[in-house]
Amino acid sequence: MRDDYLQRWLTVLQKLPSSKKQKHKIYDDLKRCYAESHRAYHTFEHIKACLQQLDKVSNTLENALHVELALWFHDVIYNPRSESNEVDSAEYAKQALQTLALSEEAIQVIEHLILLTQHPSQPQTYDEQILLDIDLSILGAEKSEFALYNENIRREYRWVDDVIYQKERAKVLANFLAQTRIYHTKYFFDKKEILARKNLVFALESCACSKEC
């Protein structure tokens, strides 16, 4: 069966001198990581959704290759019990991209982009803003899709007591709502800001209900 994302991955890397075998290996390693059993939201489906959002704005970017590779790797290491997922993912990306013979300058940029996904961050360039907006695009999804996202985040923290989880989750949601704007770029702000705030209010009210009921 044809794997369209494998073909996309190979196309993205086509100008790099590394072998096709090595490119396949890195792709298989990525898929294996994103398929870990403790994941429910931070899966390969999330990466595909991010890449689909990227396709809508890639022609506006200064360096679409850097942003795309950062998206491929940004959640490759994900352990809900860890506080260093972004740092670990950036390191994983660095080692993988070195084996693919990407330039050190490009690798440093991609590492930086991945580290920015430690929300909240302060992106300085348009490419950085787009990356973060894409990563948070789920917040402005239709209500049913957002609800599934919320459920999947809960599944990733299934080991946390419900009262504690709802309290901590409420803090995260409230922090997003407290921001002057959730989305940095005009494109994502215009398309998703209003719905994202409605979704966050709904989720925050659900947390309050769970604690009181």
Q: Across residues 21-48, what is the average pLDDT?
A: 98
What are the DSSP E strand ranges found in the chain? none
Q: Domain ends where: 118, 147, 181?
A: 118
Please report which helix (H) or strand (E) contains residue 130, including its range.
helix 126-135
pTM above 0.85, yes or no: yes
> Is residue 130, in this structure, part of any structural domain at all?
no
Please choose, from the candidates 155, 146, 157, 159, the residue with its C-alpha nearest in 3D space to the C-alpha of residue 204: 146
pLDDT at res. 213: 44
Q: Domain ends where: 118, 152, 172?
A: 118
Are the C-beta atoms of residues 114 and 90 closer than 8 Å to each other? yes
Q: What is the DSSP letter of 137?
A: G
Answer yes or no: do 97 and 17 share one domain: yes
Residues in the chain: 213
State the distance between the two ends of the chain, measured CA to CA, in whole angstroms. 48
Domain that holds residue 22: 1-118
169-183 pLDDT per residue, tens: 999 999 999 999 999
* Cα→Cα distances 47→35, 80, 153, 170, Å: 12, 17, 15, 25
Q: 180: helix, coil or strand?
A: coil
pLDDT class of 94 with cuts at 50, 70, 90: very high
- What is the number of domains present in the chain? 2
Answer yes or no: do 92 and 13 share one domain: yes
47-59 pLDDT per residue, tens: 999 999 999 999 9
DSSP state letters, 96-126: HHHHTT--HHHHHHHHHHHHTTSSS----SH
Does residue 153 carry a pLDDT above 60?
Answer: yes
